[in-house]
Structure 1
Amino acid sequence: MCYRAVFRAVPEPVLVADNSGLIVDANPAAHDLYGFGDGGMQGVSLAELFAWTPHTFGGRPDRLAAGPHRSRDGRRFIGEAVLSYIERPPGMLVILVIRNVTETLEAQSRLEEAEERWRFALDGAGDGVWDWSLESGEIEVSSSFRALIGWPDAVRLRRGDIWPGRLHPDDVRGAMAAFAAHLAGARPITEAEFRLRLEDASYRWVALRGRVMERDAAGLPRRMIGTVRDVHERYLGAEREKHQQQELERAARLIHVGEMASSLAHELNQPLTALRNFSAVALRRLDEVGPLDERLREPLKMIAEQALRAGAIVNQVRSFACKGGGQAGAVALNEVVRGVLRFMEFETRAHAVQCVLELDEALPAVQADQVQMEQVVSNLIKNGIDAMRSVPSERVLRIRSRRLPDATVEVAVSDSGEGLADAVRADPFAPFATTKPDGVGLGLAICRSIVENHGGRLWVDSSSAAGTCFCFSLPVARV
């Protein structure tokens, strides 16, 4: 009597059948499920309800997979069963607990269809889709995601294959913090932008969004779904705009420098002219008093020569600032090098610099402006001397000239300093880029402009802890 009460009270449909598949008992829930009303299921074969055969209970399975079931009125539904067995004479009894899973499977099917449509829509929009199982660590990605990173279709992805394994080292902390904040419930969604490494080892900027879609009974995240969008071009555009803005600012500063140079050139011309005239007067008066020691006459001549040269340079700066002009002619670069070194002899001695010349004596002339070439060579030599100020060992400045096969002449100025500083290594010729405490960072920029205006080029041939080598080349003068 107690067994019958419990049997009837069980809310799940329960069938009791013998080994031949005939129902010997059924509770009210089973009668309702199969449409038999209050009774009448005894003696009914299980084969009338679902796909039962004499081999169904062979091996005593503990579960029957979901499959089609039919009720007495022809209605069909999807059911699954949990089985247990009782040994009673004259044979075995099977207890089947039936579960109607039609709505569950339909809901799952609708979810899968909606998810498939969602994936299709996102693929069409160009977004990559990822589905991350946090339990196994495996990540399923859409074809567009695989195409973005160049990952083969046949290879499965795990968590480490993408994040953090493919993130740029500078972006790992921020991206993983965004994941952690969402998984901990601090943020409703994961959003991050980072550089993702592709199969060819290059990086592209992507924007990631993701959300936890499933949690276990304890509330821990089990599954996360999200998208990845390629935003590399947007970042490149922003970098281009930033670079253009910097170039505009530099151009504006150069305009002001040009105006200042023109004004300074005008103001300096008068004292330089006076210096040249006074030195000439001193030399004439020395001639009047008779022969004197050449040690006095030679410095006065050099003062006059340097005043002339300084005046020429000032005029060139003024001309360059106003209209970029210059007077080109056949220039012997070897003589330019020797002349500049002669006038910088005091500075090389003061800094204990040994100058080594490796000049090609058969070097042809170049078509250039004499004063501007002196400006370029003196700037490179001055930079080489400055680069060796902190070198405790031997300080060697090596200057080489040679003719190249492409009808150009090359001059190389090498120092034995410590190499270019990190602050200027990326672009030593950028305006206002300098590490000198008293420098303005325009020397190399102006030198490059002068060389390029003459149809040549100026570059850094090498830079290491053993020193730096600057080179420039110019076309050979036409005969």
Structure 2
Amino acid sequence: MCPPEPADYQALVQALKYCVLVHDAETKEIVWANRAACELLEFTVDELKPLKAPDMSGNARQYRREIGVAWLQRAVDHGESATEWCYRSKRGDEVLTEAIAIRVNLSSRPIVMVQFRDIAEEKATQRDLFRTEGRLQAFLRNLDEGIVVLDDDRTVIFASESAAKLLDTDVAELRGADFGQYCDAASYAELNEVVARTLTGSPPQDSRYRLAAPGGAPRWYAGTCQYIEIESDLRGHLLLFHDISERVRAEEEHRRDTQHLNHLARYNAMGDMAMAVAHEVSQPLAAAFNFVEGARGRLDSAPGAGASVGWGLDNAKRQIGRASRILKSLRQYVVRLEQSEQLIDLNTIVADCLYFIELRAAQHSVVLTMDLADEPLPVRCENVLIGQVVMNLAFNAIDEMSRWPEDRRRVELVTRRSADDHAELTVLDHGQGLSAIPGGQIFEGVFTSKENGNAIGLALSHRIITRHRGRISANENEPQGAVFSFALPFGSGA
């Protein structure tokens, strides 16, 4: 195939999308321009030939004529020279270009051929990218959430500045490091399990980790892991994590508070039981002692008085049996203290507490009225804790009524299914009421009307009921007295 004819080369240059200007190497005057240059600058070749730099260059100082001539002269001296040059079109529009000047030794004379292209849009895009990158870097530096990308070997292939800050290290040390060295043993095992579950297309996996730089104090972090694949540039397990040490600390404190609550409730229950037992057991034991002493005296004075001795010993046996039943009831109650949450009828809980409530009522000559619902009221609860609330409310009502004349000493216990389908217990007294109690302080453990009270009973009752997803309230009992009640949601299957 024959090469193009010399005349064809001009057609080839005219077809270029690159703009071409040809300058005389000595005078720097324009001697020719291709079609692309004419279209961009909006001049014909004949119009371009007489133009100087001030006529077709930007107005900024860096585009002055002497600078343009020096740029072209460097190409003459060294063969080529590149720069960014701002041309000005016939209409006055400035066009930023990427330009390269090349010396070409033609047979007639040396010339400088300038090739250039419009880069205004590229520059604008580049500025936008730099601006966006700067903003992203600022955001990443100030994020509360750390970002790392791990490969299959748990090596960090990307880390944000916020991640380095959270782990008390720097980005350079974090990138390329084994992320396992920042985890404790349990957290590293958890991370491996989470990574194994995060495959392409799988949903993000949430977990908790204890992380710290080697030798640093570990803190708790909540993390979300998912697999990412950004073209061929970034591929791995994206881990987003943020510090939740304060939340974990609060949860631990809440757990300790709950344990303390259980301890206080059991301690309070045992205190009430101990007082009841001390009061009740002392009477039959004293009576049994007297009967036995009487029988011994009869035996000493009248060896033949067998019937009288038998009567005394029989009564002693009955009194000691009564004491045994009291202790057995206490023992059963204490055994239940360690039971976990279970489904039980609220009426059964009240019945379990009734023996001790009746003892307190009898001690203060208070008439106790029971009105239990005919239907079962099953609730899911720790029955001993709910029983403690029942006794707290009942004991408070009985103690309140003990200060009033005997003909007014009445306390009522009622169980019902509430209007919103809860199991409800209500304790009513006819004493002073709530008027003397500062508003909002009934269940705060800071107020008591008892002479020797410590007010912890109502505060404990409130915490026990709310922990069981229930509610507890106190209201006036018209025309006189107070009404304390609590309601618990029905257990599953109710």
Q: TM-score, normalised by structure 1?
A: 0.40
Larger fraction in helix: 2
